[in-house]
Chains A and B, each alone.
Chain A
Amino acid sequence: MYERQAIIERVRRISPTLQRLDLAVEAVQKGVRPGQLFLVRAIESLDPYLREPWTPIRVEGRAITVERPAITTYVPGQVISILGPVGKPIALREATQSLLLLACESTPSALLYLAETAIGKGMVVTLVLLGAARSYPLDALPEEMEIVRGETHKLVWPERERIIRWADHIVAVAPPPFDLPFYADLLALIRKVRLDAAPGYAVGLFQPPMPCGVGACGACLIRRQGGEVTACIEGPAFDLTEIEGAIR
């Protein structure tokens, strides 16, 4: 965990609502892995007060690419304060060949670095976009990935049962306050289709506000079987079969 300066090197608009930023960061922060994120302060002003969570979508050479809403203006050369990497990497199950990713009510940004890494390892990746995630620009996604657009109603998409049976591993993302209800529905669906969800089979990303990022403030505690854990240290990815509220 380090606090360092980074420089925005390039800004690209990928849709009317999204832009991608290439950041030049120091070597210690290039070690970020899928699932981990940075807490960033882009301006000197104290408004907004909290650092914003920025999840890398690609790490290439000396640059880290992130995705941000287009409503905020960033300029090349802008110096930002970056703290991280925060959290633990997502641990893919051994022998995973087919990876199913689900994004519900948010952009799939938090899953894209994982998708690229998995594709690079020869895995077959399918991404399902649900709810508000359906409006994500498809041409910004890797060509090697199968994209499935679901219905506006959560957890309904074409060939749903077949795709769940096909997947060796499932990773889902939904922002608060949709996260727990979505993960509970997803876990119930997986148990219905596959009869059981093995430990580690279905993973959900939790993205609560993280004021400190070091596990000190207790604002991002997640209720897991056997006790509470901080999303900024133990997360943000958790096995859904261990999360209180996801288990019914």
Chain B
Amino acid sequence: MIEITKGKQPLQISVPVMGASGIFGFAGEYGSLIDLSKLGALITNPVTLQPRRSASGTRVVPLDSGLLIHTGLPNAGVHKVYRENASRWKHSPTPIIVHLIGTTGEDIAACAEILNGRDGVAALEIGLHDEAVPRDVRTILGAVKTHTHLPLLVRLPLYSAVHLAASAVEAGADALVIAAPPRGTARDPLTGQLVGGRLYGPWLKPLALRAVGQVARRVPVPVIGGGGIHNPDDARDFIEAGAVAVQVDSVAWVRPEMVEIIARNLGGLELTRAAGALPDEWHPGLGETAAMRAQLLASPPPLKPPDNLPR
């Protein structure tokens, strides 16, 4: 087991690969495509104190080898999100980490208090806004720490990760996540308008990798790396740079099965290719979804041999 945080309620994961916030929904949305039990943990989509509606207008702008996405971080508010997902979180095959955001420290602290001690919530991940300065970090984490005993992961903005890391640790972060997808602006080819949003793509990896390397050397808490990971080698680069675990994000949109392949690779569970296997037999078992396995279990093969066998 990999110990991400220490303390009364330590967060331990069996595989150093987590599903990043904003990608995997609130619990098991990807359950029919990915065997989520192979992941070390799953971070929920951002949750706020009050409900939030989706953004109006363009939400996705395709980019060269990537995309810009602006969803508006829609969620039903912490009470309803918990109510709707409590059972799934409790029975989740992998630890659930709830990602909290808010405009003020009080908002995030209130969310943390509501989730404190709830079954199925293994830890909290606090998402800091891009303009946060060290004072904001101390204020937010100071407020949150007084309202929860849950392990606290803090996700830092990419471009200020190095600047904010020490403040986050001083304020009580149990682990740092580097980094949140950076914001950008791009022109929507359909409407001709400029749209702002978060950026995803493989070209983020060098930026995130550098930030992870810089921060991991300087802080005494575990660092979780992420950004642009699209294959096991990408993930291993983050580990080499000093991360104890990684978060995979938009690769789930591009090649969902790759999430499981990365998790198996870093978790020591990778299956080797049988001699002469065809390309689509390369990862035996990976193509089978949870739904197919359930179907197989529901209709087991007959126990008796057929009557028409030659005697």
Contact = CB atoms under 8 A, between A and B. Distances in A.
Asked whether A and B interact, the reply is yes
Interface of A: 1-5, 28, 41, 45-51, 79, 81, 83, 176-177, 208-209, 211-212, 214-221, 223, 228
B29 A215 contact: yes
A50 B62 contact: yes
A241 to B, nearest CB: 20
Interface size class of B (residues with CB under 8 A): 35 or more
Given A49-B66, A177-B190, A228 B74 contact: yes
Contacts of A211: 60, 67, 69, 250, 253
B60 A218 contact: no
A209 B60 contact: yes
B60 A219 contact: yes
A81 B255 contact: yes
Contacts of A83: 33, 256
A68 B74 CA distance: 33
Contact of A51 (B29, B66, B253, B257): B253
A4 B200 CA distance: 24
B191 interface: yes
Contact of A219 (B32, B69, B292): B69
Nearest to A220: B59
Interface of B: 22-25, 29-30, 32-33, 45, 53-54, 58-60, 62-67, 69, 71-74, 190-191, 200-202, 230, 250, 252-257, 279-280, 287, 289, 291-292
Contact of B287 (A1, A4, A221, A228): A4
Which of B24, B73, B254 has the most chain A CB atoms inside 10 A of its CB?
A: B254
A216 B23 contact: yes
Contact of B69 (A41, A176, A217): A217
A51 B256 CA distance: 11
A46 B74 CA distance: 27
Nearest to A211: B253
Give me the 9 closest cross-chain CB pairs, A-B, nearest first: A216-B25, A216-B29, A209-B60, A221-B54, A211-B253, A218-B71, A47-B65, A1-B32, A46-B65
